[in-house]
């Protein structure tokens, strides 16, 4: 049973092959989607700009890269800025960090998911999309162990299956979904 | 493996460290601070805060190691190249005083200081400037003074330098010994490295024309951030410039209305009111 208006945040991790999935999800959510969507997507470190602009062009919900200590709100999609880890801080704000890379990544999906797990507990939804490494598996496991709801993109549909498969191996996910069903699921939450 | 820590464990650690060594970590931002401590516990194969306390309260050497592991030291030369281009085109050449003073607060292993010295040298302004470079950790300041970096780090530094638009080659500024690059020490002729703790040393180190504090205050809570902003304000010459990290914001600070934002993207501010 999925409870309406229960979840406080939707946390998404993706890497190679996830960009079209993300754009499709964002293109299909209403402008006033009330649950904050917090994303960590691997990208080239050198590309500081253009990424959130590209997402904004497709998304009805406003996409932004947060500043350190910025308050987390609904009707927003947040994207981890390039070259920083993004964490959720007590009091529902963002905390950025330049700490060493985790599994060769900064931003790291594990770091985001773990901090979301500790701050939102049962009220977090975690989604791992297509990608060519295992970042996010540990984080999704922690999120699940704190009572959160874990989803992996269906490897049948994923362009690159390593990441969703690693997540499914690390923990028992609640659902394995194709993009269109992820969208349907997110709409049912509100 | 330690996976999580309770808030009261963290409080206990910061209280005992404060009592014994006088370092105040209670106002560090929790998420990153907790991650660092968990990282230290697991790396040293300790099982609890009590084990860690036993180690660091009984050995100053162990405490110093702890201090440098606790703070995040990652840095690069010319990190955010566009920021440095802006500084070199729009800010520094416009400083008209005969002597210019710069403060790097939280200079880590020195990359930021060498970047500044190189930038000044290329503007032919190195002799006009004195630089004060501070950090909480003495061992990191030793690294900064030495200025020896691995070749793989130099590769990142070189790419940044080229994007910044340096007029020469980064190789002009160091010599190679095996796989270690040693920065030319004449870049440091007007640089003073000083141990200084932003969390507790409220004394003014001077009046500066430029204060750089990039990616340091993200590790502080807003309370401590504001205290540091006020210290910077007191240490700033009139018309001086403050540069913070590109994902930081000073709009929430109590000194925000005394500054004009010169560049919103690169986060450079100018003092317009005492
Ligand atoms: C991530 S580094 C930033 C280096 C450089 N400014 C940059 O942007 O690349 C953060 C530095 O802040 C220093 N630091 C942390 N707490 C401090 C404090 N209370 N006082 C002074 N320096 C501190 C750390 O030791 C570390 O070297």
Query: How many Å apart are CA A138 and CA A49, to the nearest integer?
Result: 28
Asked if residue B140 has its Cβ within 6 Å of ligand 1, the reply is yes
Q: What's the distance, CA A99 to chain centroid?
A: 20
A15 annotated active-site: yes
Catalytic, out of A18, A42, A85, A130: A42
Q: SS3 letters for chain A?
A: CCCCCCCCEEEEEECCCCHHHHHHHHHCCCCCCCCCEEEEECCCCCCCCCHHHHHHHHCCCEEECCCCCCECCCCEEEECCCCCEEEEECCCEEEEECCCCECCECCCHHHHHHHHHHHHHHHEEEEECCCCCCCCHHHHHHHHHCCCEEEEECCCCCCCCHHHHHHHHHCCCCEEECHHHHHHHHHHCC
Enumerate residues 8 to 67 of chain A having a beta carbon within 8 A of any beta carbon in chain B.
46, 48, 65-67
Catalytic, out of A59, A110, A135, A154: A135
- Matching residue, tokens 């450079």: B268
Touching check for B35 and chain A: CB below 8 Å?
yes
- pLDDT for B160-210, tens place per residue? 999 999 999 999 999 999 999 999 999 999 999 999 999 998 889 999 999
Residue of A67, A89, A100 with shortest CB distance to B74? A100
Ligand 1 centroid distance, CA of B268 (Å): 18
Angle formed at CA B54 by CA B19 and CA B51, multiple of 5 degrees: 125
Pairing of strands B191-195, B129-135: parallel
pLDDT of residue B54: 97
Mind telling me how many Å the CA of B34 is from chain A's nearest CA? Answer: 10
**Cβ of A88 and B247 within 8 Å?**
no
**Whether A28 contacts A179, CB under 8 Å:** no
Across the A/B interface, how many CB contacts are shorter than 8 Å?
A: 59
**Cβ of A99 and B35 within 8 Å?**
yes
Touching check for B252 and chain A: CB below 8 Å?
yes
pLDDT of residue A1: 66
Touching check for B24 and chain A: CB below 8 Å?
no
Verify cis geometry, omega within 30 degrees of 0, for the bond prior to A107.
yes
The ranges of chain B with pLDDT < 50 are: none
Q: Whole-angstrom distance between the N-terminal and C-terminal Cα of chain B? A: 51
- pLDDT for A1-57, tens place per residue? 678 889 999 999 999 999 999 999 999 999 999 999 999 999 765 555 678 888 999
- pLDDT for A134-181, tens place per residue? 999 999 999 999 999 999 999 999 999 999 999 999 999 999 999 999
The residue of chain A with its CA nearest to that of B253 is A69
Query: How many Å apart are CA A139 and CA A17, to the nearest integer?
Result: 20
Selected for mutation to probe chain A from B155, B162, B247 (highest A CB count within 10 Å) is B247
A135 annotated active-site: yes
State the average pLDDT over residues A95-110: 95
Asked if residue B131 has its Cβ within 6 Å of ligand 1, the reply is no
Which positions in chain B touch A88 (Cβ < 8 Å)? 31
**ipTM of the modeled complex:** 0.94
The residue of chain A with its CA nearest to that of B71 is A99
Query: How deeply is B46 buried, as exposed, middle or buried, from its count of CB atoms within 10 A (0-12, 13-18, 19+)?
Result: middle
For chain A, give the mean pLDDT. Answer: 94
Touching check for B30 and chain A: CB below 8 Å?
yes
Q: Whole-angstrom distance between the N-terminal and C-terminal Cα of chain A? A: 14
Query: How many Å apart are CA A79 and CA B257, to the nearest integer?
Result: 29
A97 annotated active-site: no
Touching check for A115 and chain B: CB below 8 Å?
yes
pTM, rounded to two decimals = 0.95
Which positions in chain A touch B30 (Cβ < 8 Å)? 89-90, 95
Ligand 1 centroid distance, CA of B109 (Å): 9
**Cβ of B3 and A97 within 8 Å?**
no
Ligand 1 pocket test: which of B77, B108, B221 has the largest number of ligand atoms within 8 Å of its C-beta? B108
């Amino acid at each position: 049973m999925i409870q309406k208006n229960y979840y406080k945040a939707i946390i998404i991790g993706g890497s190679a092959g996830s960009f079209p999935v993300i754009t499709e999800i964002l293109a299909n959510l209403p402008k006033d989607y009330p649950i904050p969507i917090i994303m960590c997507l691997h990208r080239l470190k050198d590309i500081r700009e253009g990424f959130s602009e590209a997402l904004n062009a497709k998304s009805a919900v406003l996409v932004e890269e947060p500043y350190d200590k910025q308050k987390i709100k609904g009707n927003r999609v947040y994207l981890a800025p390039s070259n920083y880890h993004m964490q959720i801080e007590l009091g529902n704000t963002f905390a950025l960090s330049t700490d060493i890379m985790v599994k060769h990544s900064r931003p790291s999906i594990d770091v985001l998911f773990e901090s979301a797990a500790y701050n939102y507990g049962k009220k977090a939804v975690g989604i791992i999309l297509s990608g060519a490494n295992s970042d996010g598996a540990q984080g999704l496991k922690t999120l699940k162990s704190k009572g959160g709801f874990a989803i992996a993109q269906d490897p049948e549909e994923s362009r690159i299956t390593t990441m969703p498969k690693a997540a499914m191996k690390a923990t028992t996910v609640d659902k394995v979904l194709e993009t269109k069903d992820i969208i349907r699921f997110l709409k049912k939450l509100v | 493996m330690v996976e999580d820590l309770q808030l009261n464990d963290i409080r206990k650690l910061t209280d005992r460290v404060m009592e014994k060594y006088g370092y105040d970590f209670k106002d560090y931002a929790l998420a990153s601070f907790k991650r660092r401590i968990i990282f230290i516990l697991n790396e040293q194969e300790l099982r609890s805060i009590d084990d860690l306390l036993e180690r660091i309260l009984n050995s100053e050497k162990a405490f110093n190691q702890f201090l440098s592991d606790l703070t995040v030291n990652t840095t690069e030369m010319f990190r955010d190249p566009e920021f440095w281009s802006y500084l070199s085109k729009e800010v520094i050449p416009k400083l008209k005083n005969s002597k210019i003073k710069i403060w790097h607060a939280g200079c880590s292993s020195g990359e930021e200081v060498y970047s500044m010295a190189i930038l000044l040298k290329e503007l032919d302004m190195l002799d006009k400037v004195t630089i004060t470079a501070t950090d909480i950790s003495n061992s990191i300041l030793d690294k900064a003074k030495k200025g020896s970096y691995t070749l793989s780090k130099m590769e990142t530094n070189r790419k940044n330098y080229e994007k910044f638009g340096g007029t020469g080659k980064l190789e002009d500024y160091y010599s190679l010994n095996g796989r270690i690059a040693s920065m030319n020490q004449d870049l440091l002729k007007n640089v003073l490295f000083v141990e200084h703790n932003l969390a507790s040393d409220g004394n003014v180190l001077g009046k500066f024309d430029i204060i750089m504090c990039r990616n340091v205050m993200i590790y502080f809570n807003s309370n401590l951030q504001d205290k540091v902003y006020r210290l910077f304000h007191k240490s700033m010459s009139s018309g001086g410039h403050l540069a913070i990290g590109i994902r930081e914001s000073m709009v929430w600070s109590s000194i925000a209305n005394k500054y004009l934002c010169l560049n919103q993207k690169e986060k450079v501010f100018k003092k317009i009111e005492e």
